[in-house]
Every structure is written in C-alpha cells, then in structure tokens.
Amino acid sequence: MMREALGVVELLVFPGFLFLSWLALYFEWVDRKFYAKLQYRYGPLYTGPKGFLQPFADFVKLLAKEDIVPAAVDRFLFTLTPILMLALAFYALFYVPIVPMVRNVAFGAFEGDLILVIFVLTMVGFLKFLAGWGSTNRFSAVGAVRTAFQLLGYEIPLAVVLLTAGMGAGTLNISLIAQKVASNGILASALLPALAISIVCFQAELERIPFDIPEAEQEIVAGWLTEFSGRRLALFRFATDLELTLAAALTAALFLGGPYGPAIPLIPVQVSYFLWFMFKTTVIVMVLANIRALFARLRIDQMVHFSWRHLLIAAVAEAIFIQVLLAAGVIA
C-alpha cells in the first residue's frame, strides 16, 4: 500500500505534474535571464527574487486575459490543439528520468519508451501545423507551412541521433540508457557528436532563433500562433516551456546520464539525483540560450537544406561510428 501511495505522489506532486510545472517555469526563467545577460540587459527583475516568479506571473496574466475566438476559425481544432499539445508535453516527461523514486527509473518507463517519446515529439510538431491550418489566417497559413517543412527537416536527424544512444546502450528504455551512459565513459564520449546534433535539432523543434522561421515576428506577426489569445495562448506558451524541459531532460538523459552520476557523499541518493539532474539540464538550457543569442534567423529553404545536407549526414555518420565501435567490441 505504501508503494501505491508513493506512486500517486510521484505522479501528481514530485516529480509529477506540480514539479514539472515548476521546472518548466524555472527553465523559462533561466533561459530569459541568461539570454538577457548575454545581451547586456537585466531580464526579469521585479517579481520574486531576481525575477524568479516572472514566468508564473506571465502565465497567470495570460490565462486571465479575454479569450477571443475569431468567427472564421475551426473551433474544434482551435480548442483541441492547445489542450492536446500541453497534455503531450506533460506526457512525454513521464518517460524521461528526472528524480527516479519508487522504481529507480522514470515513472512510466518501459522497454521501447524512446520510440514513444520520438513519436510524441513528431505529434507536437504536427499539432503546430494543425493549429495554424485551423486558424484561416494568411499569417497562420504561412507559419503552418513553414512548421511542416521545418518538421520534415529536423525530425529525421533527431530520431537517428536519439536512437543512436539506444543502439550504443543496447536498449530502448530511456532510463536504462541513462544508467548505462552514466557508468560507461567510452560510450558517453563516443556520443558527444550526437549530443551536439541533438541540441541543434531541439533548437529547431522548439522554434527558437536561428530556427524561429515558423513564428518570425518581423515577417508574419506570430506565424501559426497569430490568432491565439488568452488562455489558449497561455497553454501554448506553457507547452513550449514543457517542451524546453523535455528537450533538456531528454538530451541530459540520453547523452550525459541524466540524474545518474557519481554519488555525492553524505546525502541521500535521491537528493544527488536531483542535484545532477538540475546541473546537467540547466547547463543544456544555457547552451540553448547561448545559441539563441549568437545567431540570426535563417530562411526556411536554408534551414531545410542545412538539415538534409549536413545535419542528417552527420547523424547517420555518428550512427555508423557507434555501430563500428559496437562491432569492434570497444563499448562493452
């Protein structure tokens, strides 16, 4: 009975919905604050210590704004897409090890959950297309088509590098991959190119500079998001924060060992999981923010060509490299 009670707590509170929500808002704060520092700005400042509560305040403010549904939109898609996108972003995070509690793996972990998470990532991209398509607005239409092209560009390299980590570890269970990577230095260093590729792909998945082509605000207002306002926009924003969390947590788990790492003396194992997880993911979010500050926006054809001609070839080459190492018996 104790285990069941702990399971419910793990699902709803820690590291379930409540903690994931906090984590998403925390990563948005890290992203904004670090991005601002790189541009010699202050970033969020007034709400809470160093503006820590600003993302939460923004979320509640947006939730409380008037929700306008334009007369011509597809009402079904207009309501379905924000809810489903938030649900999928929450859902995928239950398969990524954050702070393993009851079963010492991620809450929903099973053999093959990596493929499920890749599927969810594709579904999120497809929902963005549907949201723009259901808006019946020119700006949304252009944004939605760009989202679809971008999805075709980054999806395959991303899937290949994520699966490469699975190949190297000999399993498709994200938690077991993380354990294997954390305990095998050769595998972890052989996966470093895959880490770089996956960070670039996630930057495109999250539609951040230089891949913010689908919502390029100087050209097409807000792209596929143009018609959304009030609580629907708040849900999309929150889902994007959760996606950022998913990107950081998944990258950390597959290529850096996630919450698993050398035990820190004198503290319980769960606390060391928490500290390792926060350290690794915060560094990844900072790298993502750094890329955002360094580059200017690409054109959509440049983005698609870049990902098919360079990113995909690099991803397949990395996969071959890992297979050669496996065949040669270097990775035990």
Partner 1 sequence: MVLELLTSPPVIFFIAVIVSILIFLWGGMIAAKGEKTSGKLAPYACGEDFPPERFRVDVRRLFIYGLYFLIFDAFALIFALSFAKPGVFPIIFAVLALIAVIVMLPVKWYE
304 lies in the site for partner 1, by CB under 8 A: yes
Contact by Cβ (8 Å): 109, 102: no
152 binds partner 1 (CB under 8 A): yes
Q: Are the beta carbons of 225 and 215 closer than 8 angstroms?
A: yes
Measured distance CA(121)–CA(220) in Å, rounded: 24
Q: Could you tell me how many residues of this chain bind partner 1 (CB under 8 A)?
A: 79
- Return the residues of window 163-182 that contact partner 1 according to CB under 8 A: 163, 166-167, 170-172
Cis omega (within 30 of 0) for bond into 15: yes
For partner 1, the closer of residues 38 and 63 by Cβ is 63
160 touches partner 1 by CB under 8 A = yes
Binding mask 242-281 for partner 1 (x = CB under 8 A): ----------------------------------------
Question: Using CB under 8 A, which of 138, 192, 263, 269 touches partner 1?
Answer: 138
- Answer yes or no whether residue 231 interacts with partner 1 by CB under 8 A: yes
Among 63, 123, 196, 278, binds partner 1 (CB under 8 A): 63
Q: How far is the CB of 98 from partner 1 (least distance, A)?
A: 14
**Which residues neighbour 120 within 8 Å (Cβ) at sequence distance 6 or greater?**
88, 91, 92
Closer residue to partner 1 in complex, CB, 121/288:
121
Contacting residue, 53, 77, 116, 291, with partner 1 by CB under 8 A: 116
Judged by beta carbon, residue 145 or residue 287, the one nearer partner 1 is 145
Q: Which residues from 13-32 bind partner 1, rule CB under 8 A?
A: 17
> Is residue 319 at the binding interface for partner 1, with CB under 8 A as the rule?
yes
Touching partner 1, residues 86-105 (CB under 8 A): 86-88, 90-91, 94, 102-103
Q: Residues with Cβ < 8 Å from 152, sequence gap 6 or more?
A: 304
Count of C-beta atoms within a 10 Å radius of residue 327? 9
